[in-house]
Amino acid sequence: MTSDTDQQRRGPRPGTDVAPLPPRPDATAPDGIHPHGGGAPPYADPGDAAARPKHHGRGLRALRRPLGIGVVTLWLSVIVLLPLAALTVAAFDEGLAGFWEAVTAPAAVAALWVTVLVSAIVALVNAVVGTLVAWVLVRDEFRGKRFVNAVIDLPFALPTIVASIVLLSLYGPNSPIGVELNATRWGLVVALLFVTLPFVVRSVQPVLIEADHEVEEAAASLGASTWTTFRRIVLPTLAPAILSGTGLAFARAIGEYGSVVLIGGNIPRETQVASQYIQQQIEIDRPLNAAAVSVALLAIAFVTLLLLRVVSGRSQRREERDA
Amino acid sequence: MRVSRGIRLSLRVVALGYLFVLLAVPIGVILWRTFEPGLSEFLASISTPAARSALNLSLLIVAITVPVNVVFGVATALALVRGRFRGRGLLQAVVDLPFAVSPIVVGVALIMLWGAGGWFGALDQAGFQVIFGIPGMVLATIFVTLPFVVREVEPVLHEIGQEQEQAASTLGANGWQTFWRITLPAIRWGLTYGVVLTVARALGEFGAVIMVSSGFPGVSQTLTLLVHSRYIDDHNTYGAYAAATLLMGIALVVLLLMTVLDRKRSDR
């Protein structure tokens, strides 16, 4: 029943500026219970339609006919595919050698390195702190918890340039607390932590809600310490969610521009990230360099997301086998 | 997991402390800096001619993007859920693509396609300027917001199934009637949620838009570009804070709407 569309829906959604991936219990439903609940078939499989007699399901048939699908395909092509195709062709304008030269130019390599390094740090911090925040929001009780829970989505709702200004007002020149992070790599890290905050929290939260308390209590009553219970019972349950949140945060951090543009300082080889390098190359009219590094950036993001999908597919299969 | 009181408290302190330093303090500081000189100062700063035209341009882009995304988003979702054709999986992947692409890369890609030296450069030479014009900014915004409506409507379509639509058409309703009377009411909350996300992202988009905008104050500056240029070009820090606070206010309204809608959706 898990059609490929279902897979896609659970798929990674990086770069969602405002999409507060609402806790989706369906991604984490305990085995056996269908996410959509109820005993009836959760939804009509698209395959059913074709199997039925023709006079059924006439509604919206226009979209099932080649014309409707053709229009949709054309639309997606013009808006999304053609620009990316033009970008890729431009990157290889002077052949593979030209592409390679542009990507391995010292400034380009430095920018890509800074981007990956800073994004990796941000992803790791998110993995730890995001899990911790999710745990506190699910298992702890305190006044104002609902408010804190709502605030987590703020970075998704806030325009990235506003995030930049907000952080500058605190950590920028004339910082009221005397911590000046602008034009340092720490500034980049703080800005990216700000915009990627919700990813791990929002992917771990629903799993923690669904997690089985009884196993934890059994472990505790058998004499396992808190730390052992966490390491042996809780962490393995949360691992796929932590991983997917961390991966999404990494993919988002790789391409981020608005939040780092003001606080980063754009110092080549120091704090210039790949997106700033690309923007600079367009400004000085080197489209080939800009296109080539863009393609490299896209490739990094795709590989990250592909790895995520492979890993999550594997853990899902293991779950099904164990069930 | 039984956690002693001490550990529980310290975890709470760490988590809340992190959120406090990362979110609350910076936002508090910017609000204080914006409103410290008084409300009239703030109002003056966000009602200068440049600020007004930036707000207008942002709203214009939203006004074009939303209907386009609603029409094509619903059509795409219907085709993906109800259609049976080869390459559906591919289409699914294409819909998710904008989430994986950096905003700056979106800008570069649009320049390579629509720019003077791009594939459709002839349009530019014929006098229809896409890049460095409003069409380019609209295209960039549609690119980054494309998945929202599709991805919010799709699961609802899956869930409602086709029984009611089939019943309607058995009773003699034509395709349009079925859509207006049955399908649209069923997907309305999902669609609204998608529209809210689209509006928020369209108002807040920066990277993709700055690449394809000429950035002249009063002509081709959106609110986000105004924040940037006030800070960088004009060294008008206060003006940047004020414009950012305005955007933040809009974002808060959006967040509130999302929370309310989310509750409505799960009530259904």
* Residue type at A182 in one-letter notation: N
Residue A300 covered by a domain: yes
- Quote the pLDDT of residue B1: 62
Interface of B with A in 88-127 (CB under 8 A): 88-89, 91-114, 117-119
Determine, yes or no, domain membership for A267.
yes
What is chain B's mean pLDDT, rounded? 89
Q: Over the stretch A1-34, which tens digit does the pLDDT of each residue have?
A: 334 443 333 333 433 333 333 333 333 333 333 3
Nearest 10 degrees: Cα torsion B34, B37, B38, B40: -90
Structure tokens of A261? Answer: 């543009």
Q: Are A187 and A70 contained in the same domain?
A: no
Of A44, A63, A258, the CB nearest to B206: A258
Residue A8's pLDDT is what?
A: 39
Give the number of domains in chain A. Answer: 2
- What's residue A61's pLDDT? 55
> pLDDT value at position A66?
60
If you count them, how many residues does chain A have? 323
Same domain, A147 and A206: yes
Same domain, residue pair A135 and A192? yes
HSE toward the beta carbon, residue B246, CA cutoff 13 A: 23
Residues near B50 by beta carbon (within 8 Å), at least 6 away in sequence: B217, B218, B221, B226
Asked if A68 and B92 come within 8 Å (Cβ–Cβ), the reply is: no
Domain identity same for A287 and A216: yes
Q: Is A150 exposed, middle or buried (0-12, 13-18, 19+ CB in 10 A)?
A: middle
CB contacts under 8 A, B 53-92 vs A, are 72, 75-76, 78-85, 87-89, 91-92
Burial track B142-168 (b if 16+ CB lie within 10 A, e otherwise) = bbbbbbbbbbbbbbbbbbbbbebbbeb
Chains A and B form CB pairs within 8 A to the count of 354
SS (H, E, C) A193-253: HHHHHHHHHHHHHHHHHHCCHHHHHHHHHCCCCHHHHHHHHHHHHHHHHHHHHHHHHHHHH
Q: Find the CATH number of the domain harbouring A234.
A: 1.10.3720.10
Could you say which of B18, B19, B75 has the minimum Cβ distance to residue A68? B75
Vertex B97 angle, CA B112 and A257, to 5°: 65
Interchain contact, A226 vs B82, CB within 8 Å? no
Closest CA to B146 of A298, B123, B154: B154
Measured N-to-C along each axis, helices B39-46 and B25-35 cross at an angle, to the nearest 10 degrees, of 90
Domain boundary (A73, A91, A109) is at: A91
Q: Using a CB-CB distance cutoff of 8 angstroms, which residues of chain A are in contact with residue B171?
A: none
Min CA distance, A315 vs chain B (Å)? 21
Classify each residue of B98-129 as buried b or exposed e, where b means 16 or more C-beta atoms within 10 Å of its C-beta: bbbbbbbbbbbbbbbbbbeebbbbebbeeeeb
Predicted local confidence at residue A201, as pLDDT: 95
| Residues in chain B within 8 Å Cβ distance of A132 | 11, 14-15, 18
Q: CB A255 to CB B103 under 8 A?
A: yes
B147-159 pLDDT, tens digit per residue, is 999 999 999 998 8
Tokens of B159: 């869930």
Instruction: Choose one of A50, A68, A91: the last residue of a domain.
Output: A91
Q: Output the CA–CA distances (angstroms, integers) from residue A105 to A97, A212, A269, B109, in the order listed.
A: 12, 52, 12, 21
Contacts of A166 in chain B (CB under 8 A): 26-27, 29-30, 244, 248
Amino acid at A156: F
Q: Which of A7, A63, A145 to substitute to test the interface with B, most B CBs within 10 Å?
A: A63
Q: DSSP secondary-structure letter at A140? A: -
Residue B126 corresponds to which amino acid? A
- Asked whether residue A8 is assigned to any structural domain, the reply reads no
Q: Are residues A224 and A155 in the same domain?
A: yes
Same domain assignment for residues A312 and A215? yes
Contact at CB, A82 and B113, closer than 8 angstroms: yes
Q: How far away is chain A from the Cα of B191, in angstroms, using its nearest Cα?
A: 14
How much is the pLDDT for A305?
87
Cα torsion for A16, A12, A85, B110, to the nearest 10°?
0
Q: Are residues A117 and A184 in the same domain?
A: yes
Same domain, A79 and A106: no
Residue A189 lies in a domain: yes
Residues A166 and A289 occupy one common structural domain: yes
- The answer to whether residue B160 neighbours chain A at the CB level (below 8 Å) is yes
User: Token digits for B131?
Assistant: 């890049």
Q: What is the pLDDT of residue A282?
A: 93
Range of the domain at A85: 41-91
Q: Dihedral of the CA atoms B12, B14, B19, B25 (nearest 10)? A: 120
pLDDT digits (tens, 9 = 90+) for A139-169: 888 998 988 988 898 888 889 999 998 888 8
Residue A46 shares a structural domain with residue A173 = no
Task: Report the pLDDT value the prediction gives residue A64, as an integer from 0 to 100.
Answer: 55
Grouped pLDDT means (10 residues each) for chain A, 323 residues: 39 38 38 35 40 44 66 92 95 93 94 95 96 93 89 88 89 81 89 94 91 83 85 88 93 93 87 94 93 95 88 76 68
Asked whether B2 and A173 are in contact (CB, 8 A), the reply is: no
Of A73, A234, A298, the CB nearest to B105: A298
Residue A22 falls inside a structural domain:
no
The pLDDT, as a whole number, for residue A212 is 78
pLDDT of residue A109: 96
* Residue where one domain finishes, among candidates A91, A122, A157: A91
> What residue spans of chain A are helical by DSSP H?
4-10, 46-51, 66-76, 82-91, 95-103, 106-125, 131-139, 145-151, 154-157, 160-171, 185-210, 213-221, 226-229, 235-255, 274-283, 287-322
How far apart are the C-alpha atoms of A86 and B110, rounded to whole Å? 8
Which residues of chain B fall short of a pLDDT of 50? none
What span, in angstroms and rounded, lies between the C-alpha atoms of A27 and B154? 16
What pLDDT is recorded for position A181? 85
Tell me what pLDDT residue A57 has. 44
Question: Are residue A178 and residue A230 in the same domain, yes or no?
Answer: yes
Instruction: Please name the residue of chain B whose CA is at the shortest distance from the CA of residue A62.
Output: B175
Whether residues A126 and A273 share a domain: the answer is yes
Q: Using the beta-carbon criterion (under 8 Å), do A15 and B100 form an inter-chain contact?
A: yes
Give pTM, 2 decimals. Answer: 0.83
